[in-house]
Chains A and B, each alone.
Chain A
Amino acid sequence: MRWLLGKDLVILRRSRVLVAVLVVYPVAIALLIGLAISRSPGKPKVAIANLAPPGATVELGGSKVEVGRYYAQLFSEVQPLPVATRAQAVAKVRSGEALAAVVIPANIASKLSSVLSQGQLEVIYNGDALQQSLAQSKIQAAVAQANLELSEQIRQLASRGIDLLLQGGDLSQLGINQPRLLGLEQVPATLDGVIARTPPGHDRQELERVRELATFAAQNLNISKDVLATVGQPVQVNATTVHGRRTPLDTFAVVVAVSISLMFVCVLLAAGGVALEREEHTLARLIRRPSGAARRASTPADPAPRRAPPHRSALISPEGLVVEKLLLAAACAWVLAFAMLAGIGAFVTLEWSRIGLWVLALAAGALAFGAMGVAIGAVAREVRAASLLAFLLALPLAFLALVPAGAVAPGVYDAIRVVSAVFPFKAALQALDAAVNNSEPALGGSLAHLLGLTLLFGALARMGLRRA
């Protein structure tokens, strides 16, 4: 086997384009992913036509809320290109200089102050669907955040008014020029003194009714502040992960990228290695079992009568050939995947203390992918067909393994789970995720799964080699 391994290494070394692709591919992918992850997504350029007068404020209950704070929140999520008019904003979008434009109308402050109608922002989009989607989501998020900020200011203002109504005090805070006001909470006690001095009769009954109303109003107005807070932000999110610790998106992206690279390099090398033996017509020469003395086949009359006479063994057994091709592809892919993982580690924080588990997960994945590649190569008649078959199989498998539960109908998802379970990509992804991110399912189960798939595809490859 070692001579064959040496031969394959020599051939690999002489296939300069292939070696260049094998080296450049993971390096390029590592750099791209690293840069993509380490740099925050760019803010879309948005033309802003702010037609509202400078320093405009919204007046609510005599208090002023600055509209400028609203704009600041809005502009923080985009790269603003200030323009003077709506027409200029539209021109920026048309020319492609801006992905979108936001027109803030001159009357926004008065609209908000009126409380009877909402303020209106005009948003103008251009570009392809993806660019529109990016700009739209950014602007919607910014508007939502700005609305939240504004509603919080209004809530605080309303809350202060409620406090004044309940506890009384100086109404000048609310812009009302009046002497100190009695609070609703103080009304019952004040009335009690008056009622005690009032003789029984109609007047006293009326005063008692007013005291009941004041007590009821004070109690219920007290909870209205909580109601206002709830209306301002009705839903709060508390995140809980069912199992394991939550995998950060950037390190999961690293795991996906490395797993895909491991799969492609390994499957293509293994499939190509076996197919090359067939293409060069050397496969039959390698695994033929020439007769030594006598080689006897069974006959109808004598189906399995005697011990098979001694055969001269093949130059390499089919099992040996499967193992040799598998090991070569797995070793090459392992080295490249590890280098890629380490390279991305320069951009993303990885737990280097878990390096032993990375090695184990990558090795198990490489073996399973190698076995799958050898099986593909054993079926294909030539290298090009093997490469095409490997691509056609590997690419959808990677996509299927990444389909989240709930994204498709339950029956379809069950089918996807079965398909993903009988090919190595999902198990390799889970193993590497567990090794790198300590996520669930546990590494042991994924390693056992990969070992089983290695044996399964190894057996299929052995069967495929019968057609030497």
Chain B
Amino acid sequence: MSAGAVLEVSAVTKRYGERVALREVSFAVRPGELVALIGPNGAGKTTLLSVLAGVLSAEEGSVGGGAQRIGWVPQQPAVYTKLTVAENLALWARLERVGDPQDTVRRMLEQIDLADRADEQVGRLSGGNRQRVNIAVGLLSEPQALLLDEPSAALDPIQRGRLWQFVEGLAAQGTSILFSTHNVAEAESYAGRVLVLDEGKLLFDGSPRALMAEAAARGEAGEEIDFEEAFAAYLLGREHGQRDPTGPLPGRAG
């Protein structure tokens, strides 16, 4: 076990029948770390987060670490659309058995900047605001580690910017955050560390800069490429994702 790790994943394997969704995945997350989980579709990102959240159980391996409370924010907002924002937060706070539910709700409404819409039914909110409520529910228990599954998928650029500002603020306060994303640029911009997952296997664990350096060092990408291209080149080089290593890189002609 890594010293001081909030979340420690050791050789986790998950199968759906014959199909192996996760293959001996191991990594650790330290306090206050913002870690991005990236990979192509079907790589196993949601499965890994679900195992860490306790929604799914792994056949092999272990999940441990120092975190006593792990928050989970699924990709689809998991809140009651017929309840108001405040009612949702109060309900989940009571289910989470937080000390003072009303105070927690008030604090959370301010934190997600929805205090003025507290009495509005969630079903009438925009996708972005629903996602903020969704994240707030994940934060109610004041978790040491927060798992975010594609948190910005349904958001417009402005909402996305506000979301990441909020998430960075949480990390700055010491909450460890592991988020999955399709948007590789987000991983580069906000994560201190990236985990590259493909076909259930953890291929890379390091900083975005290290990923770019590795791609360049292997001669799989030129010097003047961005992170997204480096990521694609890295996958191609590992013979994952697109199988034709001689083909053009995504986003680059020729």
The residues of A with any CB-CB pair to B shorter than 8 Å are 3-4, 7, 10-11, 14-15, 280-282, 284-286, 288-300, 309, 311-312, 314-316, 468
Chain A residues with Cβ below 8 Å from B69 are: 290, 312
Contact of A297 among B55, B57, B68 (CB under 8 A): B57
Contact with A along B1-14 (1 / 0, CB 8 A): 00000000001100
Asked if B72 and A288 sit within 8 Å, CB to CB, the answer is yes
Q: Which segment of B74-82, B104-112, B168-176 sits at the interface?
A: B74-82
B171 CB → nearest A CB, Å: 19
Known interface pairs A297-B58, A299-B60, A315-B95; A291-B82 also in contact (CB < 8 Å): no
- CA of A7 to CA of B93 in the docked complex: distance in angstroms? 13
Number of residues from B at the complex interface, CB < 8 A: 39
What is the bound-complex CA distance between A386 and B106, given in angstroms? 36
- Are B59 and A297 in touch, CB under 8 angstroms? yes
Are A11 and B54 closer than 8 Å at their CB atoms? no
The reply to whether B78 and A282 contact each other, CB–CB distance below 8 Å, is yes
Quick check: A285 and B74 within 8 Å, CB to CB?
Answer: yes
Interface centre among B12, B54, B72, B137 (most CB of A within 10 A): B54
CB pair A297–B62 under 8 Å, yes or no, is: yes
B64 within 8 A of A: yes
* CB <8 Å contact, A298 and B83: no
A298 to B13, CA, bound (A): 10
Give Cα A296 to B54, complex, Å. 11
Q: List 29 A-B contacts (CB under 8 A).
A: A4-B91, A7-B80, A7-B91, A10-B82, A14-B82, A280-B78, A280-B80, A281-B74, A281-B76, A281-B77, A282-B80, A284-B78, A285-B78, A289-B54, A290-B69, A291-B52, A293-B65, A294-B62, A294-B63, A294-B65, A296-B61, A297-B59, A297-B62, A298-B59, A298-B60, A299-B60, A300-B60, A312-B54, A312-B69
B55-A282 in contact (CB<8A): no
Q: A288-B55, A289-B54 are in contact. Are A281 and B78 (CB under 8 A)?
A: yes
Establish whether residues A11 and B83, one from each chain, have CB atoms under 8 Å apart when the complex forms.
yes
Bitwise, B76-108 to A at CB < 8 A (1) or not (0) is 111111110001000110111000000000000
Of the candidates B76, B78, B82, which one forms a contact with A11 in the assembled complex, judged by CB atoms under 8 Å apart?
Answer: B82
Residues of B within 8 A of A285 (CB): 72, 74, 78, 92, 137
9 nearest CB pairs, A to B: A294-B64, A296-B62, A281-B78, A290-B54, A289-B54, A315-B95, A288-B54, A285-B78, A281-B76
Once bound together, how far apart are the Cα atoms of A3 and B80, in whole Å? Answer: 13
Judged by a CB distance under 8 angstroms, whether B197 is at the interface is no
The interface residues of chain B lying within 8 Å CB-to-CB of A280 are 78-81
Contact B83–A295 (Cβ < 8 Å): no
Instruction: Indicate whether B53 reaches chain A with its CB closer than 8 angstroms.
Output: yes
B70 contacts chain A at the CB level, 8 A cutoff:
yes
Asked if B68 and A295 make an inter-chain contact with CB atoms under 8 angstroms apart, the answer reads no
Nearest residue, chain B, Cβ from A3: B94
A288 to B51, CA, bound (A): 10
A179 to B79, alpha carbons, bound, how many Å? 108
B175 to chain A, nearest CB (A): 15
Alpha-carbon separation in the docked complex, A286 to B72 (Å):
11
Asked if residues A291 and B63 are in contact (CB atoms below 8 Å), the reply is yes
Q: Is the CB of A291 within 8 A of B64?
A: yes
Beta-carbon contact of B83 and A290 below 8 Å: no
CA distance A289 to B70 in the complex (A): 10
Q: Is the CB of A295 within 8 A of B64?
A: yes
B149 to chain A, nearest CB (A): 11
A14 and B120 alpha carbons, distance in the complex (Å): 13
What 15 additional pairs, Cβ within 8 angstroms, besides A296-B64, A300-B60? Answer: A3-B95, A14-B121, A15-B82, A281-B74, A281-B76, A281-B78, A285-B92, A285-B137, A289-B54, A290-B53, A292-B68, A297-B59, A297-B62, A309-B64, A314-B54
